[in-house]
Each structure stands twice: as structure tokens, then as C-alpha cells.
Homo-oligomer: A and B are copies of this chain.
């Protein structure tokens, strides 16, 4: 082996160094260990628990959430159109399926679509955006369907990155952040510019901090892009209208391309909070802004009330993009041919669900409302419960699907982790996994203010299970604190 190894073409030393720098904690070492433990459990290894609860990723169906019946009926009809003759399916489902199939080559979802996405689905997306934003126009030509939002975000970043040395593109991302951003920036060799959310102000975003980060970055790179996640991942804050206005003014002043990750736009739970799309606020600020600020916003089928992650559906809307660059974007996405057509079909249903006068409306509304109500309940439950634990403090989960509580770790635990070359919150989460079978992601995977520690947990487990999880984390936290005191 050693002899062979010497002559290997592809080794850690000879591989793409940017890929080596990529990190993605949401599916990192802790999740690999969780999968291993699950295997051990299946093989009969005794553990202090009988199942691993994966609260590391926003994967609603895996946590038992049921799909929206109407959506799946249409998908079945699109997959096997013989069912269109079956009178078990409601007429509105058949109508949607026929419309999608008519827009497919050979009436089959097995045909490639246009690279930008099926035209009538892009039209539906545009209408959805118009309705959401109170009538502000949306042009289907500005809509690009994608393989989940991740795909579109990476594509957009790829377009934006250029230059070498001090001219290299800098991209501003929040800390804590969703690690897709840091991973994509490492992969592209772009410069990551951190701006910190204010934990003491419910993870609020302050333009002063944006300005500080930008000015510091100007010393060593060329900041060109500002990424915002609203509602926040992993931090769950919902930005106020004023905050969004401030951000837009800042982006315009500083000539930044704005990327608005709005995949949790239906996930708002806190009283007094409301989702405001960046686009709507931009247009309401008047033509000085709406006619010049370059922006892309992102949405997905994976979150909200439907949680259809596996379908990898998504879209982005671009605004004020140079037409020549748009042509380049269209060219770039054409190399991968098209997003999965079943994901496009799923997206079509998300943006074009049953209408009040259609037969499936009642069941759709009931299912949707139940999911969102349960999430709201769980968001409150989580905040309340964590804040009863000494050493855990937790901001309200205003939106999205995660809580990102701060944990106080004893000095001895921090020292032990440092000895082992591990982040202290990774030590904490690994121990929690081994002892309780609960899989979380350490705050270090998202970034956090130095000297503070957190974890991200989804609020997705069913209420009764979530209560057990919270209780177990509480017990573990007390035990951990005692053990290292």
C-alpha cells in the first residue's frame, strides 16, 4: 500500500486545496458518529438510549412531519399519468398535473426542461412573488429554478467572485451563519467577511457592525457582496422592516450585491414579527433603490410548512442584473442541463396551491395550518424550557426552524477540549450524543463570538418527543456542568 500510495495521483497533498478548506458542520463529524451509533444500535450494541434523535438538520419529514396530501397527489399523477383516469384523485390535482405535463417535453417529467426552469412554473413563481409582495411586479425572465436553494446560492456566488490578492471578491456573511456560505466561499477561494449578529438584541443586525466589518475587510479584499438570511439560520431572528431598510441603504451606499436567503419566509412564530421580503421593502423605498440595487433572493421547497427537502426544488429571483451577465448566468446553468423536474413540479405546487374554490383547498389549509401551528408551539416550548436551565440562555425562536442557545461551559471542560484539539462545544455535543443519543450541531460549526459557546437544535421533533429531548438536554447540561466543576 505504501508503495502504491507514493504514486497516487490524488492525495490530500495533491488535491484541490480549496476543497480541503471547505467545512460543513451540519453534516460533519458529529453526524457521521450519529450514523455509526445508529448502526451499532441495530447490531444490538447496548446504549443508554434506544434511538438517535437527529435534531441537527432541518429535515421535517425525517422527524415525522407528513407531506401535504395535495402536493403528493399531483406528483404521483405527474409520475404515472395513467392515474389521470383514476377518479380517486381530485380534479384540482389532475388539473395541476395536466398543466405541468403539458409544459414538459413529450408530456413527461422524464424530459429535460429549459435550463432556467419550465416556463409556466417560472410564471407561477412570478405570480406568487407578486401576490406575496402586494402587487410589486415580478418578471418570469428574472426567475431561475434550481436544485434546492443551495444550488442557486452557490451559482450566484460563483458569478460574483473574481480578482486576485487584495482585489479578490469579499463576501459579507452573518456570524453565526449557515455553513453553506462559508463552504461555498472556501470552494471558490473568495474572502469571507464576518459581521456579527447581536445575541443580546435577539440576534439583531446592526448597520454599525456591517460598516465595521466592511471597513476592516477593505484593507485586504474587495467587498462586493452582502448575504443576509431572514428569518435567520441558525439564529431564528426575524428582521424588522426598519432593519431591512437600513441594510438596503447600506448595500446601496457601499455598492454591494445583495443576496437575500429567504427560505424560511413562511416560518414566523413570534408575536409582532412578520416576514418582509427584501424585494418588497426595496420597492417601497422608491425607484432610487428599486431601479438600481442588484439583488438575488432565494426560496426553496425544503422548509416552511411543506418540508420537501428530498425533492431539491428552489428558485432565485434576480433584480437589476446587467442583461449581459444574465445571459452568462443562463449559459452557466445550462451546463448542468436542468434542475430535477419533479422538484420543479413540487415548487409549482408550493407557489400555486389549491385556491379557496377548489376541492383540495380545505384539506390543504388544514394540513398547512396544523404544521405551522405545531412549529409555533414548539418554538415557544423550546425557548421557555431552555431558559429554565442554569447555564443555558436562549433567545426567542421568532422564525425559521432552529434554536441557537448559548451554553456556559465550565473552565475544566474548555481546557479538556483544548487539550484534545477540539472546539469546546464539539466536546459538549459529542458527549451529549454518546450519552443521550441526541444529535445537535456545535455553535463552532456556524461561527460565534470568541469565548461564547452554543449549539443549533431543530424544533422539528414531534411535540411529545421534543419535550423528552429538552428534558434530556437539561439533565445532560446539569450533569456536564457538575462533572467539569
Contact = CB atoms under 8 A, between A and B. Distances in A.
Interface residues of A, number: 100
A110 B162 contact: no
Contacts of A80: 72-73, 75-76
Nearest to A332: B19
Nearest to A1: B291
Nearest to A326: B10
A63 B341 CA distance: 17
Contacts of A322: 5, 8, 10-12
Please give the count of copies of this chain that the complex contains.
2
A59 to B, nearest CB: 5
B110 A337 contact: no
Contact of A9 (B4, B73, B256): B256
Nearest to A104: B310
A476 interface: no
Interface in A13-53: 14-17, 19-20, 22-24, 26-28, 35
Contacts of A148: 336-337
B20 A328 contact: yes
Nearest to A148: B337
Name the residue in A65, A108, A113 with the highest tally of chain B Cβ atoms < 10 Å from its Cβ.
Answer: A108
A39 to B, nearest CB: 10
Interface stretch (A153-161, A270-278, A382-390): A153-161
A112 interface: yes
A311 B334 CA distance: 16
B79 A16 contact: no
A139 interface: no
Contacts of A229: none
A439 interface: no
A317 interface: no
Nearest to A339: B312
10 contacts: A9-B225, A9-B256, A24-B331, A28-B334, A62-B111, A63-B105, A108-B310, A110-B310, A112-B309, A310-B338
